[in-house]
Amino acid sequence: MLTVLRRIAQEIDLAGDLMSALNIVARCVREAMQVHLCRIYLVDHKQKCYVLMAFDNNDKLPVPSSSVALDDSLLGLVSQRVAPVAHLNLVGNDLSEKLAFLGVPIVHHQQVLGVIAVEEANHRLFTEDEEAFLVTLAAQVAGTVVHAKEMGFVFKEGAKPLEIKCLQGISAVSGVAIGTAKVVYPPADLDAVPDRSTNNIDEELQRFKDALDLAQKDIVQLQQKIEPVLPLEEQVLFSAYLQVLSSAELKDDVDEEIQKGQWAEGALRNVIKKHMMQFALMEDLYLRERAEDILALGQRILYHLQERSLEPTQYPAKTILIGEKLTAADLADVPEGALCGVISYSGSHNSHVAILARAFNIPTIMSATGLAVTELEAKAVILDGYHGCLYVEPSMQLSKNYERWAKEEKELDRALQGLSNLPSQTVDGRAVSLLLNAGLMRDVGLSLNKAAEGIGLFRTEMSFMDKAKFPTETEQREVYRQVLQAFSPRPVTMRTLDIGGDKALPYLPIQEENPFLGWRGIRFTLDHPDIFLMQLRALLSASEHLENLQILFPMITSVEEVDEALQLLSRAYEEVKAQGLNVTMPKVGVMLEVPAAIFQIKALAERVDFFSVGSNDLTQYILAVDRNNTRVCSRFDVLHPAVLRTLQYAVERAHAYHKPISLCGELASDAVAAVLLLGLGFDQLSMNAGILLRIKWIIRTIPYARASALVQEVLALNNVSLIRTEVEKVLDEAGLGGLIRAGKS
């Protein structure tokens, strides 16, 4: 049933209007439950009746009535009880045969909006799983109905809602943005470049060199423009661009093509296509998507080869940036303060555009479909990042609704600032430390974020990715020292070098058939003790007189790995002490991100001081799902019962051996998951700075006892959608609805 629920949810999202969505539901329900009839009614309070909105039958039963009185015996009973109603051996008013009936209410904020009913002409008992399936689906339908009413749906002849033009895509960053569409196009078209021979090789070589230099200047200017407002871990995108443009490989390859007699434009086209093909053939999705970055740089060079100048583009005051294939440079081109939303017709959650938008917390939709990009220029639009849709030339009522919600979101964010200096503690006394996930930081102003009690995960690999070679011990020490000083005396947990999987070093490509199960994390560093010792010495020496360093080992699968890593740490400690530095041995932890480590907690607890759950990797290993693979990523769900039960076991085992346990990863930034993490008993949660105050709001609002009881309730469920629905109900009841939808409630 879970697969069916996900498929229905996806089809509902793609439906153009309410009627289409409800017809999809009716059809899918009848097919999934193998019943003779499914009908969906909505309540028309003005006419005091149920209006038939959709039905699907197999001709075993007649077409149901188009409207039914509110006191109808069965539908009325469902509404009266606000609960599922099942009946056997019912004789219908207009039927000669006996029926089995199951009806569930469509409810929003305790108000019954309608009823989903299924009927079977044969004797049968509907199972608890079937009832749970229908209840979960009704909860999803409720959101669709409410959304349609907010857009202007009214009951009228044929019950057709107002027609609205919209784009639908994948939500990459939630939030609401209201503004004017600005469509951007590639600066030049490599596909349109013809083959052309040249007799003047030197001239073509010089033309290409000049164009390459100008393209580098473009990227440097964009980097300088964006540097003051962007954390360095995101600035590496532009550093990577410059590395490509300055690489000997690119220049040499193009020069070689020119030496063969091809003009500069044709030589550039051939080389860019070759490099794109190399990335496109890679197994890993993250690396495959880098092909788009290569193309964007090639287009920029071509623009200068064609002797054009990049004239300043005029952007609206509230720009919703739209493009077929947007790049990080496109976002950086928009004047500061003008960019409100981003729509890309291609790309995924891991595209550079999505990464950059998340850093700015700009509502973003990827892989958008529905309208041609040429239809959108200068149009008034509304971007709903919660539902992954863009409304074009919205109605007055829809605009008013979204303007109200956008205002409420700003009010909510302002109100939450008042929580900054308050303790992260539940009303019944349970303290949960809230920490930051971070990478490199030139702007130590992040330390002024008083809401954070420290850094729970500092990704040291960022200082390796930002270089053209392995950074020296001195270079590493300077970076680590800056961060430790900025947060002193608050703790900073530095994860040792974690490359491999979806994190490749530009100067150390690792080609593997299955990189997520390959040479990554502690496996790489133990195989390179020279690199590992250099980093450990840099970490220890950076902590002199500060004593807020904690070291975290990633990708642990065995006790032997921890023993070997600790031996190298002890060696590095002695070497640093021998240099005359006054350092103390930091606390050491291991990441629980491989299931094997979870079941060795007792032995690990004898060796380390704390545990940190890496929820992203742990989930993909438990479910055997690569979340970056578009074919299976819909099966990646952190609320899967197996994941929750594994987390429960990890917390219980860690506490049994008196070790604190934290969690980092996207799970900690999910409002629904945060309630369960609170109830599971995690001591610390580590997340991005933008979501921290919202999670603190949850902790200070929902009692630990209620969250713990909720965990036990959902662990009895086997349906992911139903688990999410149950937790969302708790958030709504607690007045925290603004965390899961637009507005404050």
Domain ranges for the chain: 2-163, 169-183+313-394, 190-305, 405-423+593-745, 460-592
Q: In the prediction, which pLDDT does 47 show?
A: 75
- The stretch 556-580 carries a mean pLDDT of 96
Beta bridge partners of 116: 40, 104
More confident residue, 225 or 682: 682
- Tens of pLDDT, residue by residue over 510-526, are 555 566 676 678 888 88
CATH of span 190-305: 1.10.274.10
Angle subtended at Cα 54 by Cα 50 and Cα 58, rounded to the nearest 5 degrees: 120
For residue 682, what are the CA distances in angstroms to 648, 651, 672, 673?
9, 7, 15, 12
Annotation marks residue 36 as catalytic: no
Residue with tokens 């009946």: 87
Domain at 405-423+593-745, CATH class: alpha beta
- The stretch 210-239 carries a mean pLDDT of 72
Closest Cα to residue 318, out of 254, 402, 256? Answer: 402
- Tens of pLDDT, residue by residue over 691-745, are 889 999 999 999 999 999 999 999 998 888 788 888 988 998 898 888 877 766 6
Q: In the prediction, which pLDDT does 95 show?
A: 43
Choosing from 352, 387, 389, 640, the catalytic residue is: 352
E-strand spans in 109-238?
111-120, 165-173, 176-183
Q: In the prediction, which pLDDT does 598 show?
A: 96
- The domain at 169-183+313-394 falls in which architecture? 3-Layer(bba) Sandwich (3.50)
Please provide the DSSP assignment of 134-155 as one string: HHHHHHHHHHHHHHHHHTT---
Q: In the prediction, which pLDDT does 489 show?
A: 92
Give the separation between CA 141 and CA 57, rounded to whole angstroms. 19
- Tens of pLDDT, residue by residue over 636-689, are 778 899 999 999 999 999 999 999 999 987 788 888 899 999 999 999 999 877
Q: In the prediction, which pLDDT does 98 show?
A: 64
Maximal CA-CA distance, the chain:
96
- The domain at 460-592 falls in which architecture? Alpha-Beta Barrel (3.20)
Q: In the prediction, which pLDDT does 234 show?
A: 57
Categorize the per-residue pLDDT at 442 as very low, low, confident or very high, splitting at 50, 70 and 90.
very low
Q: Evaluate whether 405-423+593-745 and 460-592 have a shared fold.
A: yes
Q: In the prediction, which pLDDT does 638 show?
A: 82
- The stretch 518-540 carries a mean pLDDT of 88
Tokens linked to 736? 């925290």
- Tens of pLDDT, residue by residue over 600-633, are 999 999 999 999 999 888 988 898 876 655 556 5
**Number of CB atoms found within 10 A of residue 745's CB:** 13
More confident residue, 68 or 558: 558
- The stretch 110-139 carries a mean pLDDT of 85
Indicate if the pLDDT at residue 555 is higher than 60.
Answer: yes
Q: In the prediction, which pLDDT does 629 show?
A: 58
- The stretch 45-56 carries a mean pLDDT of 82
Q: In the prediction, which pLDDT does 156 show?
A: 54
More confident residue, 513 or 38: 38
List, in sequence order, the alpha helices (H) in 260-371. Answer: 264-280, 285-288, 290-305, 328-333, 352-360
Q: In the prediction, which pLDDT does 159 show?
A: 42
**pLDDT winner (highest mean) among 64-73, 295-304, 604-613:** 604-613
- Tens of pLDDT, residue by residue over 249-288, are 788 889 988 998 989 888 988 888 887 776 665 544 555 5
Question: What's domain 2-163's superfamily in CATH?
Answer: GAF domain (3.30.450.40)
- Tens of pLDDT, residue by residue over 492-501, are 999 998 876 5
More confident residue, 533 or 109: 533
Least confident of 28-42, 120-134, 234-248: 234-248
* Helical axes 248-259 vs 201-226, angle rounded to 10°: 160
Average pLDDT along the chain: 82
Q: What percent of the chain has pLDDT over 70?
A: 82
Give the separation between CA 411 and CA 415, rounded to whole angstroms. 6
Q: Are 417 and 397 in contact (CB under 8 A)?
A: no
Annotation marks residue 352 as catalytic: yes
